[in-house]
């Protein structure tokens, strides 16, 4: 945990950057928990959308089925457009899905919304974890990674509480905002992963990112030192990949 007696305050910038990326997991919890509060309201006699027992099973399970589909694209996107841009891209199906749910007049539109929100949480989870692993210091890494799970759990609790008092359409509209704040925090506090920037040959931007992350450090030249370490590590991985390729071809 982040004890005030032991925490190195030069790491505060890194911690805030990682928490901003991890905050997207709150919206993951909202999506996961929404099915449990939606179904009881749809089963009410006054519900304007009539659903069967089979429909209900699809409403609850479709998000879980869509998560692997979103994850399939994650591996390509995090390397192609970056860790943070993948998180930004995930907000498109997330917001579109909630709009579909909020405006739904039938089961089909409701399902389209659930499919899109399911894909979005598949896109969110891995990039945030990769970013935290690459940016955070080893002594804080495990705690920051666990924060993602804690935020997702908090999201589930929040949507359960809201579901006890509010209409599901109103909850759908308000759920759109849960990706806007993380976007704002990330834009203000989270530079792109230096490791990814180096892998794309953008060394100057990697140095700017490292300079921002280590701005509170009392150690002079730390950003340049970390840059050299990351460059050497990237070259080592390239050599290993080339050697593996030669072995396969032989």
For 113-122, write each residue's pLDDT tens digit.
Answer: 999 999 999 9
Quote the CATH superfamily of domain 11-190.
MFS general substrate transporter like domains (1.20.1250.20)
pLDDT at 238: 83
Q: Which residue has the tokens 């920037």?
A: 197
> What value does the mean pLDDT take over residues 57-83?
92
Region 132-145: what's the mean pLDDT? 91
> What pTM, to 2 d.p., does this model score?
0.87
Average pLDDT over residues 157-179: 95
- Measured between alpha carbons, how far is residue 106 from residues 47, 109, 110, 137 in Å? 11, 6, 6, 49
The confidence band for 31, taking pLDDT boundaries of 50, 70 and 90, is very high
Reading the block at residue 101, the tokens are: 């749910």
Of 5-9, 145-149, 203-207, 229-233, the one with minimum mean pLDDT is: 5-9
Domain boundaries, the chain: 11-190, 200-249
């Amino acid at each position: 945990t982040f004890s005030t007696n032991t925490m190195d305050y030069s790491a505060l910038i890194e911690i805030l950057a990682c928490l901003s990326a991890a905050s997207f997991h709150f919206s993951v919890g909202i999506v996961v928990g929404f099915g449990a509060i939606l179904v009881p309201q749809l089963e009410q006699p006054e519900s304007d959308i009539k659903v069967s027992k089979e429909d209900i099973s699809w409403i609850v399970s479709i998000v879980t089925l869509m998560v692997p589909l979103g994850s399939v694209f994650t591996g390509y996107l995090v390397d192609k457009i970056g860790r943070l841009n993948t998180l930004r891209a995930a907000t498109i199906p997330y917001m579109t899905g909630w709009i579909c749910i909020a405006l739904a007049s039938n089961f089909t539109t409701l399902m389209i919304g659930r499919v899109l929100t399911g894909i979005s949480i598949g896109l969110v989870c891995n990039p945030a974890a990769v970013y935290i692993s690459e940016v955070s210091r080893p002594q804080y890494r495990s705690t920051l990674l666990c924060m993602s799970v804690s935020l997702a759990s908090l999201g589930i609790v929040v949507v359960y509480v809201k579901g006890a008092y509010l209409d599901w359409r109103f909850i759908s509209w308000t759920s759109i905002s849960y990706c806007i704040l993380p976007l704002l925090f990330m834009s203000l506090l989270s530079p792109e992963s230096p490791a990814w920037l180096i892998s794309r040959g953008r060394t100057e931007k990697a140095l700017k990112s490292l300079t921002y992350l280590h701005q509170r450090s009392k150690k002079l030249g730390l950003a340049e030192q970390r840059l050299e370490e990351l460059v050497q590590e990237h070259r080592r991985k390239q050599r290993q990949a080339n050697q593996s390729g030669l072995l396969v071809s032989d």
